[in-house]
Amino acid sequence: MTALELGSPAKPQLLALLRALRVHQWVKNLLVFVPVMLDHKLLHPPVMVKALIAFAAFCCAASGAYVLNDLLDRDADRRHRIKRNRPFAAETLSRSFGVVLVPLLFAAALLLSLWLSPKFLALLTLYVVLTTAYSIYLKQIAVLDVLLLAGLYTLRVLAGVAASQVRFSTWLLAFSMFLFLSLAFLKRYAELSELQGGAAEGLARRGYLRGDREWLGSMGGASGYLSVLVLALYINSGEVVALYRNPLLLWLICPLLLFWISRMWLLAHRGRIDQDPIVAAMRDPASYVIGALVALILYAAV
């Protein structure tokens, strides 16, 4: 069986394939460039080439994980008002094609990683194992699922360090873990917000009930603010003095980050975040303004 059904137009099938790969989600893999940026190596071609290969490898691995997840959730997605339009749930793409596509994507990711360090290969392999375990079963265990989601975000940052061989900071690890934990809680909060039933109604193949929504909000908000606290402590550390000429300017990032985290949770509370907080942030003009201001502050601090 081929990817394209006989007699069907090629363009809709190609669009369906791109949707199944969730190309828009590749923005998450830009996290591999974060340690390169913080080590001030964006203008070093050898370092950037390694980071680009790492980015491509994670795009293949992530798309493989998304396809696997959609295959496993196909029946549950058909009962969801939005997810029922996903290519495998809507049968725009066949299940057999997805079964072939998953190992091909994972194999492409591993082949790309051979150009990089053994540490990167180990981290990418760990990513594939964890995402597979998450899709098959771990996503159904409350609390563990959000910790794992946050860990997968942080794993991208660590992989960026391993691929580009730039300096590693435990501050970055702590900051990433708390920030991404907040986003993971936000994702579950947004999913629960779509439920219309009582407090005992639950999400399909998830470990949460609608009554857990307020708890998720409190945990997620606290995690986000803890990431700002870690950033504040980092600004007072000795590492900052070695990397920045005007470290006091970095304090301006703290209120910007507080504003962004609070805004994302406010949008979720108002029901304006549809499933994925990363996609919602990409659609929010305020996120681009804050990102530009943070970049300007970092440039001025250097």
Mean pLDDT within 146-167: 93
Are 175 and 191 members of one domain?
yes
Q: What are phi and psi of 189, to 5 degrees?
A: -60, -45
- Highest-scoring range by mean pLDDT, 23-27, 154-158, 283-287: 154-158
Q: Which of 105, 134, 168 is the last residue of a domain?
A: 168
Q: What are phi and psi of 202, to 5 degrees?
A: -120, 165
- Tell me, yes or no, whether 257 lies in a domain: yes
DSSP 8-state code for residue 30 = G
Q: What are phi and psi of 273, to 5 degrees?
A: -110, 120
Are 83 and 200 members of one domain?
no
- Tell me, yes or no, whether 156 lies in a domain: yes
Q: Scanning the structure block, which residue is given the tokens 């507080």?
A: 258
Q: Give me the torsion for CA of 234, 170, 297, 251, rounded to 10°.
A: -20
d(CA 151, CA 147): 6
- In order of 70, 81, 165, 181, 189, the CA distances from 274 in angstroms are 17, 12, 36, 18, 10
- Tell me, yes or no, whether 221 lies in a domain: yes
Q: What are phi and psi of 209, to 5 degrees?
A: -110, 160
Q: Helices in the chain by DSSP H: which ranges?
A: 10-21, 34-38, 45-72, 74-77, 95-113, 118-136, 144-164, 170-193, 213-235, 238-243, 253-269, 277-283, 285-301
Q: Which of 115, 142, 168 is the last residue of a domain?
A: 168
Are 251 and 156 members of one domain?
no
pLDDT (0 to 100) of residue 55: 97
Burial 209-232 (b: 16+ CB within 10 A, else e): bbebbeebbebbbebbebbbebbe
- Tell me, yes or no, whether 5 lies in a domain: no
The pLDDT confidence band at residue 129, using thresholds 50, 70 and 90, is: very high
Q: Say whether pLDDT at 31 is over 50.
A: yes
Are 162 and 16 members of one domain?
yes
Which domain CATH number covers 44? 1.10.357.140
Number of structural domains (the chain) is 2
The pLDDT confidence band at residue 5, using thresholds 50, 70 and 90, is: very low
d(CA 157, CA 152): 9
Are 23 and 54 members of one domain?
yes
- Tell me, yes or no, whether 1 lies in a domain: no
Q: Which of 149, 168, 187 is the last residue of a domain?
A: 168
- Tell me, yes or no, whether 64 lies in a domain: yes
Mean pLDDT within 256-282: 88
The residues, any chain, with a CB within 8 Å of residue 205's CB and separated by 6 or more, are 72, 73, 76, 139, 140
Are 144 and 178 members of one domain?
no
Are 24 and 81 members of one domain?
yes
Are 100 and 231 members of one domain?
no
Are 202 and 152 members of one domain?
no
Are 249 and 291 members of one domain?
yes
Q: Say whether pLDDT at 283 is over 70.
A: yes
Are 128 and 186 members of one domain?
no
- Tell me, yes or no, whether 160 lies in a domain: yes
Q: Say whether pLDDT at 2 is over 60.
A: no
Domain that residue 71 falls in:
11-168
Q: Say whether pLDDT at 214 is over 50.
A: yes
pLDDT (0 to 100) of residue 146: 94
Mean pLDDT within 223-239: 93
- Indicate left, alpha or beta for 165 from its phi (over 0: left) and psi (-120 to 50: alpha): left
- Tell me, yes or no, whether 235 lies in a domain: yes
pLDDT digits (tens, 9 = 90+) for 38-97: 888 988 999 999 999 999 999 999 999 999 989 988 887 787 777 788 888 888 888 999
d(CA 53, CA 39): 18
Q: Say whether pLDDT at 200 is over 60.
A: no
Q: Say whether pLDDT at 300 is over 60.
A: yes
| pLDDT > 70: percent of the chain | 93
pLDDT digits (tens, 9 = 90+) for 162-193: 999 998 888 989 999 999 999 999 999 988 88
Are 300 and 238 members of one domain?
yes
Higher per-residue confidence, 259 vs 207? 259
Give the count of alpha carbons within 13 A of 288, CB side only. 6
pLDDT (0 to 100) of residue 128: 93
